[in-house]
Amino acid sequence: MSIWNRLKNELIDIIEWTDDSTNTMVWRFPRHQNEIKNGAQLTVRESQTAVFVNEGQIADVFPPGRVKLETQNMPVLTTLMGWKYGFNSPFKVEVYFVNTKNFTDNKWGTKNPIILRDAEFGAVRVRAFGTYAIKVIDAAKFIREIAGTQAHFTLEEVTEQLRNLIVTRFTDAIGESRIPLLDLAGNLDELSKFISDRINPEFGEYGLQVTKFLVENVSLPPEVEKALDKRSSMGILGNLNNYAQFQAANAMEQAAQNPGSDAAAGMGMGMGFAMANQMGQMFHTQNRPPSPPPIPDTSVQYYIAANGQQQGPYAKQVLESMIRQGTVTRDTMVWAQGMPAWSKAGEVGDLQPAFGAVPPPLPPQ
């Protein structure tokens, strides 16, 4: 440093930082032997924070604004240096400017596939990627935990560690969510918010905050994607018979445009066979004997009244056996579902054939 600059610095001191880069997170103000003059002007611009470090210990932190450095507005540093009655001589201190703006469009992604258990596809491997934005919310903690004593600290020096942290928490979150793979596209917003809430406390330990986290895509292996494409194609085709007829109609149209080609001759032969087959099926359908009606339901259940009490239900076959044994007579009251009221067994049309097989009572002696 020239003698003139040293004399100038003794006369006036202006401490400020104008950043032309887009990736600087921390910048240390250069001073000759780290001497700050009493009454120096400190200018902290918007999206900046100034941190004073005295002998390796963080002292005062200044938010945006213009400050004249005096004892009353530097309480921590004044206490550390033991100035009881103010100070007039220069003092040695390091000044770090911390960029507190949003650092956007930071990429994250899985280096290796994540193995998941899906309810529909079983064990599958997926990859994911997206973007996130961060900002420094605690400048003193960020210097203490991350930047240290570096004179120039950039975003690239911390993104690798943050990316590894994001991928680890994403893998755990997507495994716990149990969201089916086919439903992930409709739940990316919810998944992004869930992961952002999971990683913010850990980012806060470094003095950082995740202001935006986005899961842009979750991709499947090529072989799984091919299987999904086949399934989608089958769903689009629908009825294969209709699809075959549609394809045949297209082929007939092409053959008609080239009547002298071998394809047309083959198509005519194929049409003849197809028409003969359809006519044969039609005649076979017309000459087919009618199908018999369905077997009637014989599961009718009857209740009987015996000695003033209801008994049953009994199947029709059981009731016919009781009639042959004489347990049930023509005058026994019976009822089954569908009958309006109790009736004598001899008057129920479904049971009358059973009474015809029962001999009449013996004549009196």
Which CATH number covers residue 219? 3.30.479.30
pLDDT at 362 over 50: yes
Buried-state track 252-269, b at ≥16 Cβ within 10 A, e below 16: eeebeeeeeeeebeebee
Q: Is residue 123 part of a domain?
A: yes
pLDDT over 90 percentage in the chain: 24
Range scoring the smallest mean pLDDT among 46-60, 87-101, 155-169: 87-101
Range scoring the smallest mean pLDDT among 29-33, 266-270, 290-294, 348-352: 266-270
Question: Looking at the structure, do residues 87 and 117 belong to the same domain, yes or no?
Answer: no
Strongest mean pLDDT among 78-87, 255-264, 283-292, 341-350: 341-350
pLDDT at 332 over 70: yes
Question: Looking at the structure, do residues 82 and 111 belong to the same domain, yes or no?
Answer: no
Question: Looking at the structure, do residues 128 and 206 belong to the same domain, yes or no?
Answer: yes
Tell how strand 24-28 and strand 48-54 pair up: unpaired
Tens of pLDDT, residue by residue over 34-63, are 677 778 899 999 999 999 998 888 989 999
pLDDT at 97 over 90: yes
pLDDT at 279 over 70: no
Question: Looking at the structure, do residues 95 and 107 belong to the same domain, yes or no?
Answer: no
Q: Is residue 229 part of a domain?
A: no
Domain count within the chain? 3
Q: Is residue 361 part of a domain?
A: no
Domain extent at residue 319 = 301-356
Question: Looking at the structure, do residues 109 and 214 belong to the same domain, yes or no?
Answer: yes
Question: Looking at the structure, do residues 63 and 134 belong to the same domain, yes or no?
Answer: no
Instruction: Please compute the mean of the pLDDT values over residues 16-24 and round it to a whole number.
Output: 90
Q: Is residue 270 part of a domain?
A: no
Q: Is residue 269 part of a domain?
A: no
pLDDT grade, residue 156 (50/70/90)?
very high
Q: pTM higher than 0.75, yes or no? A: no
Q: Is residue 295 part of a domain?
A: no
Range scoring the smallest mean pLDDT among 170-179, 249-258, 324-333: 249-258
Give me the half-sphere count of Cα atoms (radius 13 Å) on the Cβ side of residue 219.
15
Q: Is residue 275 part of a domain?
A: no
Whether the upstream peptide bond of residue 313 has omega within 30° of 0, thus cis, is yes
Q: Is residue 147 part of a domain?
A: yes
We report the CATH number of the domain holding residue 309 as 3.30.1490
Question: Looking at the structure, do residues 84 and 168 belong to the same domain, yes or no?
Answer: no
CA-to-CA distance for 137 and 150, rounded, in angstroms?
19
Question: Looking at the structure, do residues 37 and 63 belong to the same domain, yes or no?
Answer: yes
